[in-house]
Chain A
Amino acid sequence: MADQVSFVILVPMVYLAFAVLLAGIGVRIGRVLVSPRHPSTLRLFPARRAAGVAALQDTFLMPQVRRHASAFWACLLLFHVSFLLLILGHLDLLPWTRLRPADSKHMLGWGAVGVGVTLPAFYFLLRRMRGPVREISTLGDYLLLLLLVFVLLSGDMMSWANSWSENGFVMTKQDFGAYLASLARFEFANPRDLLPGSHYIVVVIHVFLANLFLMLLPFTKVMHTFFALPLNRLRRG
């Protein structure tokens, strides 16, 4: 029974999560695209000559946050840069991508990337528990952050154990690569055959939480990933 549940989580649910993610994002973006345009400018002044460049700066460097909440800004920047590296690190697990040598035992960053996202995520959670930010927060904000924290922590457990200890988890980068490659090829192979080791349950938990996160993403504020740039473009005119 446990094996069947694990299989469902590690294979069909992953496909379902990506399907919901892509369809959800498509619907959300599509709804914006088909809505009528506001008839007049919504820009703020002073105007910058290169409005597009200014919007890119606003989106990726967040100067407004740096000016008014510098500690938060530092954590945001660390989180977002690390998250990008995390995505690259997961892609690097696939056998046909070569960001690091194929025989490398470890993920990109040797576990540091995970720390780069996890610590700021804890900061975000703590920040939300105090002061006026607490008063503007909803149950959904906490649940989403907690889900993210647990996805990251379970990922960190796998990564750190392999990176930092000779006697760590016995699953290697190549093992994970074989599992992801089987998913990418729609082979529906039993992941237990590809991922040996006693901490298989950690992998199952990590993938389950990640699936949930991906499925919820289009229906949450995480959609700012796609909307931040067009919004900043509006502000810059």
Chain B
Amino acid sequence: MENALRERLRELFAGRLSAEMRLYLDTCARCGVCIEACHVYASLPETRYTAVARAETIRRIFRRYFKLEGRIFPWLGEVLPLDDPALEKVYETAYTCTGCRRCMTYCPFGIDTQMIQGIAKLLLIGADREPKLLTMLADMSIAKGETITESKENFELAMRNLEGEVIEKWRGEAGKEAIPVGVQGADILYVALAGKHSIVPAAAIMNAAGENWSLSYFEAVNFGAFVGNPAKTREISQRIIQEARTLGVREVAICECGTAYRVMKYQTGEQPFRVISFVELIDRYLEQGRIRIDPRQLQGRVTYHDPCQMARNGGIFEEPRRILRRLTQDFVEMQPNRAENWCCGGGGGLVAMGEQEFRMKSARVKAEQMKATGAAVMATACENCHTQLSDLNEHYGLGMRVAFLSALVADALVPREPEAGVAARPSDGLRRAES
């Protein structure tokens, strides 16, 4: 490795040394309590797949270039000079970690391995060794933001073509668009993923609730976060923030995508609008009686997978459970669940990168956890998790149906009870019963 590149990587590393990062890098006692926390280690018990071993790769580079003791006592075996073999190791640590932060629930200090892996990913970008697919996807998102004026028309046309499918699930008020876009002063800006599965059920639910909403021109997923590029992460978020500010919306509802939700909710700073998850919005509609669902629509035992970025990293635990308990009387929890749930094994960009073989092998423990529930339906609220759980379902022959919460709710929508003394709205009689 050339000295110039080494120096550049050292500078990139130095740029990430916040107070918090210094604490994370300085404190690990290598007690090993976190060893059992990682689903990869639980499935493939090799030391390199432990949280501590992954973080140690970065710590050794830290000690080599930023610590006096690393320069004085390199023979203690605690340093790693930046060279080609080191970068191979860095790649392995960065892209065998899904960033689920389950290890933080084990660590006596709460060391954030995902944050440490952020350095690993940044070093790989600096050395031009990051997964190019992720960078390309991030660049495409940014390019879409730059050329939105030219692509708006095509986007709107595509949405018009989808409206029939929304109306199949829920016929809205006459004269009202089934998928409204660019609505000035909307209460909700819904940010979906690129794919009708993320748009149609959500549109049906919001129309059923009589919501004043608007669909974002941009997709929610943030590939900048997956590839670990803070600048691109910001740029991608900024498109949505700008749109929400321009429309003057009160709330931005992020579709079922854990990373998108966490980035928008917790990593974009103070905004003039509130960021919520679409799951929270469904829960709110049900609590307020703005939508009703028929529990008979959903057959078989149902379980729920807490997406890491929404649950232990986002705080959404009870909303999906309240929704599911309205959808079925046969709900069963996974063990463990909530903050200690096993990661699906698809996060951190792994699903987007493909990595089928590693994802299946490293999530064996997840497949076992799914199977142990005896459930027929596996509900979840994250695109990555949905893809990974579907792949696991097929790979391990679990015979389950993996479904988004929004899809389950949209399929079970029924007309609201008319309020006492208030006539039902004209559209209420034209509901999905027709379909």
- Which residues on A are within 8 Å of B, measured CB to CB? 28, 31-33, 35-42, 44-47, 58, 62, 64-65, 68-69, 72, 76, 127, 132-133, 135-141, 143, 219-221, 223-224, 227-228, 230-232, 234-236
In the complex, which residues of chain B have a beta carbon less than 8 angstroms from the beta carbon of A232? Answer: 109-110
Q: Are the CB atoms of B76 and A143 closer together than 8 Å?
A: yes
Interface: B181 (CB within 8 A):
no
Interface of A is mostly: helix
Q: How far is B47's CA from A141's CA once the two chains are assembled, in angstroms? A: 17
State which of B22, B36, B267 has its C-beta within 8 Å of the C-beta of A32: B22
Closest 4 CB pairs of A and B: A235-B110, A133-B32, A45-B315, A140-B76
Q: Are the CB atoms of A136 and B26 closer together than 8 Å?
A: no
Q: How far is B36's CA from A62's CA once the two chains are assembled, in angstroms? A: 17
Interface: B384 (CB within 8 A):
no
Category for how many chain B residues contact A: 35 or more
Q: Are the CB atoms of B30 and A33 closer together than 8 Å?
A: no
In the complex, which residues of chain B have a beta carbon less than 8 angstroms from the beta carbon of A140? Answer: 73, 76-78
In the complex, which residues of chain A have a beta carbon less than 8 angstroms from the beta carbon of B47? Answer: 132, 135-136
Q: Are the CB atoms of B115 and A138 closer together than 8 Å?
A: no
Q: Are the CB atoms of A219 and B33 closer together than 8 Å?
A: no
Interface-facing stretch out of B98-106, B124-132, B272-280, B386-394: B98-106
Q: Are the CB atoms of B32 and A136 closer together than 8 Å?
A: yes
Q: Which of B29, B73, B105 has the most CB of A within 10 A?
A: B29
Interface: B108 (CB within 8 A):
yes
Q: Are the CB atoms of B30 and A138 closer together than 8 Å?
A: yes
Interface: B23 (CB within 8 A):
yes
In the complex, which residues of chain A have a beta carbon less than 8 angstroms from the beta carbon of B73? Answer: 140
In the complex, which residues of chain A have a beta carbon less than 8 angstroms from the beta carbon of B75? Answer: 139
Within the complex, the shortest CB–CB distance from B236 to chain A, in Å, comes to 15
Q: Are the CB atoms of B27 and A228 closer together than 8 Å?
A: yes
* Contact sample, A vs B, 20 pairs, CB 8 Å cutoff: A32-B26, A36-B18, A36-B19, A38-B115, A39-B269, A40-B266, A44-B313, A64-B105, A65-B33, A68-B106, A136-B35, A136-B56, A219-B69, A223-B26, A223-B27, A224-B27, A227-B27, A228-B109, A231-B109, A235-B110
Within the complex, the shortest CB–CB distance from B43 to chain A, in Å, comes to 15
In the complex, which residues of chain A have a beta carbon less than 8 angstroms from the beta carbon of B312? Answer: 44-45
Within the complex, the shortest CB–CB distance from B60 to chain A, in Å, comes to 9
State which of A76, A137, A231 has its C-beta within 8 Å of the C-beta of B27: A231
- Which residues on B are within 8 Å of A, measured CB to CB? 17-24, 26-33, 35-37, 45, 47, 50, 52-53, 56, 67-69, 73, 75-78, 101, 104-112, 115, 266-267, 269, 311-315, 317, 338-339
B73 nearest in chain A by CB position: A140
Q: How far is B35's CA from A41's CA once the two chains are assembled, in angstroms? A: 25
State which of B18, B27, B77, B104 has its C-beta within 8 Å of the C-beta of A221: B27
In the complex, which residues of chain A have a beta carbon less than 8 angstroms from the beta carbon of B30? Answer: 133, 136-138, 141, 221
Q: Are the CB atoms of A47 and B20 closer together than 8 Å?
A: no
- Known contacts A47-B315, A133-B35, A221-B30; is A33 also within 8 Å of B109 by CB? no
In the complex, which residues of chain B have a beta carbon less than 8 angstroms from the beta carbon of A133? Answer: 30-32, 35
In the complex, which residues of chain A have a beta carbon less than 8 angstroms from the beta carbon of B317? Answer: 45-46
A216 nearest in chain B by CB position: B69
In the complex, which residues of chain A have a beta carbon less than 8 angstroms from the beta carbon of B24? Answer: 231
Q: Are the CB atoms of A35 and B77 closer together than 8 Å?
A: no
- Known contacts A33-B19, A133-B32; is A42 also within 8 Å of B115 by CB? yes
B269 nearest in chain A by CB position: A39
Within the complex, the shortest CB–CB distance from A117 to chain B, in Å, comes to 16
Q: Are the CB atoms of A35 and B27 closer together than 8 Å?
A: no
In the complex, which residues of chain A have a beta carbon less than 8 angstroms from the beta carbon of B35? Answer: 132-133, 136
**Given A38-B115, A138-B78, A227-B109, 9 more contacts at CB 8 Å?**
A33-B19, A37-B18, A38-B21, A39-B269, A44-B101, A44-B110, A45-B339, A72-B33, A219-B67
Within the complex, the shortest CB–CB distance from A67 to chain B, in Å, comes to 8
Q: Are the CB atoms of B33 and A132 closer together than 8 Å?
A: no
In the complex, which residues of chain B have a beta carbon less than 8 angstroms from the beta carbon of A228? Answer: 27, 108-109
- Known contacts A133-B32, A138-B78, A139-B77; is A227 also within 8 Å of B339 by CB? no
Q: How far is B25's CA from A35's CA once the two chains are assembled, in angstroms? A: 13
Q: Are the CB atoms of A46 and B339 closer together than 8 Å?
A: yes
B338 nearest in chain A by CB position: A46
B311 nearest in chain A by CB position: A45
Q: Are the CB atoms of B105 and A136 closer together than 8 Å?
A: no
State which of A46, A138, A141, A231 has its C-beta within 8 Å of the C-beta of B315: A46
Within the complex, the shortest CB–CB distance from A57 to chain B, in Å, comes to 12
Within the complex, the shortest CB–CB distance from A134 to chain B, in Å, comes to 9
- Known contacts A44-B313, A64-B107, A232-B109; is A38 also within 8 Å of B77 by CB? no
Q: Are the CB atoms of A31 and B22 closer together than 8 Å?
A: yes
In the complex, which residues of chain B have a beta carbon less than 8 angstroms from the beta carbon of A32? Answer: 19, 22-23, 26
Within the complex, the shortest CB–CB distance from B271 to chain A, in Å, comes to 13
In the complex, which residues of chain A have a beta carbon less than 8 angstroms from the beta carbon of B20? Answer: 37-38, 42, 234
